[in-house]
Chain A
Amino acid sequence: MFFGKLKKAHGKVIINPNWCKGCGYCVKYCPTDVLEMSKGYNAKGYHPPQVKAAADCRDCKFCELICPEFAIYVTSDKEEEQASASA
């Protein structure tokens, strides 16, 4: 099957807990439920998100787009392969 040969995209989530203001948008609107709010506090007293299911990240970058704080971004694994290949 044609689609069977397609590899699932995969991303790695990078969070800056210090910039996060705990709005929860990234957690609520991640289509594959990769994130959860942490129990811990950052220096401003907010609960930043943490990754609970890293393998499920499909690199859609919606969390990156919706985060009002520019506190979360996603690197695609392809980029990482290239980076490590050239290193």
Chain B
Amino acid sequence: MSSCAPNDAQFRIQNPMAEFLRMERMPHIWCPGCGIGSVVTSMAEAIKNGGHDMDKIAVVSGIGCTGRVAGYVKFDSFHTTHGRAIPFATGLKLANPELKVIVFSGDGDLFSIGGNHFIHAARRNMDLLVICVNNFTYGMTGGQMTPTTPTTANASTTPYGNYEYPFSLPFLADAAGATYVARWTSLNARNITDSISEALNRKGFSFIEVITPCTTLYQRRNRLGDGIDAMQYYHDDADIQHGADTRTVDIGFQGKLKTGKFVDRQKPTYLDAVNTHYANVIGDDYQLYGKTPPEKQAEEEAKRAAAAAAEQADGLEAEYIDEPAECGGDDA
């Protein structure tokens, strides 16, 4: 009955995460109950479900406990310097627009030292997916206060409670120009997976915030118990409100957590904007990635024709398959 424990080597090979993780680095360093690992599984699940080409995905992290994700995943990945995940990812995307570039990093990394990069990538609608594990603290360096630490919360740099006003990340992202903004807690593993799937299938700057327990520092310093207590808080106080006005989703200390998809809008991405603009002002001499506008147009038309031909072929098959259904017809 009890746990059928395979040996360690077998477990590493047969684990469904073996496709996505550098198994030789497991077990990882994260503390008991730390939520970062769950978010990594959701990301892997979304990539698997979407049938994405693993060679066309790149993961970029900054520094921190969350930053270690880049070192654990089995994609082309880069663990950048502190705060610089977004500029690195921007360069990667612009050098090779075929890539889907995911930035996976912490609240301190993305919004303190890296805050300016975040707002400008959002402003330019850079085609990136940014996943922020927001644990309200600098986990790796000992629980200092970050720009998201709720007012009155205890941190090692605010031992008498935080007196500053935190950023509300969805509001910041929305105001800066992000075209997709969602927030979940790490308990919402399926919703995180769905949001990542959705974001991977769209173009533009997508931002997903995941409220996650830092058990060792934030939970402990604030006497909030362990990981299970954090999950209980998410269970009790998180409320799904898709489309909520981002001005209303700020988080007070152990207060209500509005979650859901807040923003989903279409806008030309940075590369689309560059292209359109220069094609207009320079005309047919303009080149992006070695191609002039007429060459690009011809290429796109060929692609469309190929897609149409494929669709027609599919259509013929579908018609053929559909036929017998007419006899049944009880689900009409």
A residues neighboring B (CB under 8 Å): 12-19, 21-25, 28-29, 38, 46, 48-52, 54, 62, 64-71, 73
Are A62's CB and B30's CB within 8 A? no
Residues of A within 8 A of B45 (CB): 65
* A69/B6 contact (C-beta < 8 A), A21-B32, A23-B227, A64-B16 known: no
| B41 contacts A by Cβ under 8 Å | yes
**Total contacts A-B at CB 8 Å:** 98
Within 8 A of A (CB), among B63-99: none
Distance A13 CA – B8 CA, assembled complex (angstroms): 15
Query: A16 to chain B: closest CB distance in Å?
Result: 5
Residues of B within 8 A of A66 (CB): 38, 41, 187, 189
Distance A51 CA – B4 CA, assembled complex (angstroms): 9
The segment out of B20-28, B242-250, B316-324 that lies at the interface is B20-28
Are B189's CB and A16's CB within 8 A? no
Sorting the interface of chain B by its residue count into under 10, 10 to 19, 20 to 34 or 35 or more gives: 35 or more
Query: A1 to chain B: closest CB distance in Å?
Result: 15
User: Which residue of chain B has its CB nearest to the CB of A35?
Assistant: B3
Residues of A within 8 A of B2 (CB): 38, 50-52
Are B3's CB and A49's CB within 8 A? yes
* A50/B189 contact (C-beta < 8 A), A19-B27, A68-B38 known: no
Distance A23 CA – B21 CA, assembled complex (angstroms): 21
Residues of A within 8 A of B37 (CB): 67-70
* A28/B228 contact (C-beta < 8 A), A69-B37, A70-B15 known: yes
Q: Which 10 A-B pairs have the closest CB atoms?
A: A68-B37, A21-B32, A15-B3, A23-B33, A65-B189, A50-B2, A16-B11, A19-B27, A23-B227, A50-B3
Within 8 A of A (CB), among B206-241: 226-228, 231
Are A65's CB and B6's CB within 8 A? no
| B1 contacts A by Cβ under 8 Å | yes
